Amino acid sequence: MAQDLVIGIDVGGQTTKCGIVDARGTVVEQTVIRTDIYETVEPFVAELAEALNRIIASAKAEGRIRGIGVGAPNGNYYTGCIESAPNLKWAHNRVEFAKLLSEQMNGIPVSLTNDANAAAVGEMTYGAARGMKNFIMITLGTGVGSGIVINGEVVYGHDGFAGELGHTCAVRHNGRQCGCGKHGCLEAYCSAIGVARTAREWLEMSDEPSELRSLDRITSKDVYDAAKDGDKMALKIFAFTGRILGEKLADFIEFSAPEAIVLFGGLARSKEFLTEPILEAMNANVLPLWRNKVKLIYSSLKESDAAILGASALAWEL
């Protein structure tokens, strides 16, 4: 039987999404497992392999899988390793992820890249960036990732790690400590975790009324729900988050002169509260050369599909 299918895997800080993809880019079967409950990589890979075998059986795809593509935080396209990923408890050091997964999957070849790079490839091939050759993908999830596309090619750099825009400095003085160990990173403010952290800090620092005060454990979704209810503090939190992100996007524009910035991920669903402050700060801080010229667009793909499809594209090359 022809090997006419591939698998795409999106490893996130909390969950890992997997899909079987055909040559037309249709996700024919998919599943989700937890990422954050594992302390070491071996049991995670074993559980992942079990989940993959289940969807392969469900899709009657035994013998038809050509390869597996993986998008993961700090995934190195050149080596197949995940290295020092702040949001993966089992990958604080270097793990040979592609090799381990291939062994668990009876030798099916595995290719790996950074999760945001995978999302960029998916968006360029199937989504809002289709036809674009110069754009920057920003993933707003547990962390802040980025995929930089120049002249139709993902930028990997000499060591495979180019494009860690989430760990550029957004707040230079007395900035928050980021999971990477640095202070003031964009990720510490503009990720889902960063938004929740802003809410907790602001509630402690003021007596301003807010429906968030009734919650024991605040998440970014709680802030979003409060903003939808017109909660003034929640609205100010999104304005603050959007301003910081917009200021950094201005820097990124001056680096690669993209046609567009594409926002993707869970936090991007808050676009009605983020778009205006992002654009205002972005255009106020960019050189006049690019002012009001670079588009801000949101992923047009279904939740998780951009990363799954982008990761799966790696597998067709195996």
* Tokens, residue 64: 């038809």
To which H or E segment does residue 140 belong? strand 135-140
* DSSP-derived secondary structure letter, 165: G
Read off the pTM: 0.86
To which H or E segment does residue 16 belong? strand 15-22
- Give yes or no for a contact between 299 and 262, defined as CB atoms under 8 angstroms apart: yes
How many other CB atoms are there within 10 angstroms of residue 93's CB atom? Answer: 11
Query: Distance between CA atoms of 91 and 205, rounded to whole angstroms?
Result: 35
Say what the pLDDT of residue 12 is: 87
Catalogue all structural domains in the chain, each as residue range(s) with its CATH number: 5-121+304-315 (3.30.420.40), 131-298 (3.30.420.40)
Per-residue pLDDT tens over the stretch 81-137 = 999 887 899 998 999 999 999 999 999 999 999 988 988 988 998 889 999 999 999
Is the pLDDT at 304 greater than 70? The verdict is no
* DSSP-derived secondary structure letter, 301: S
Q: Is the dihedral of CA 96, 41, 314, 107 positive or negative?
A: positive
Query: Distance between CA atoms of 25 and 5, rounded to whole angstroms?
Result: 10
Is the pLDDT at 303 greater than 80? The verdict is no
Strand order in the sheet with 5-11: 27-34, 15-22, 5-11, 65-72, 110-114
Per-residue pLDDT tens over the stretch 243-276 = 999 999 999 999 999 999 999 988 999 999 999 9
How many other CB atoms are there within 10 angstroms of residue 195's CB atom? Answer: 26
Per-residue pLDDT tens over the stretch 20-55 = 999 988 999 999 999 999 999 999 999 999 999 999
Is the pLDDT at 306 greater than 80? The verdict is no
Average pLDDT over every residue of 314-318: 87
Average pLDDT over every residue of 212-229: 96
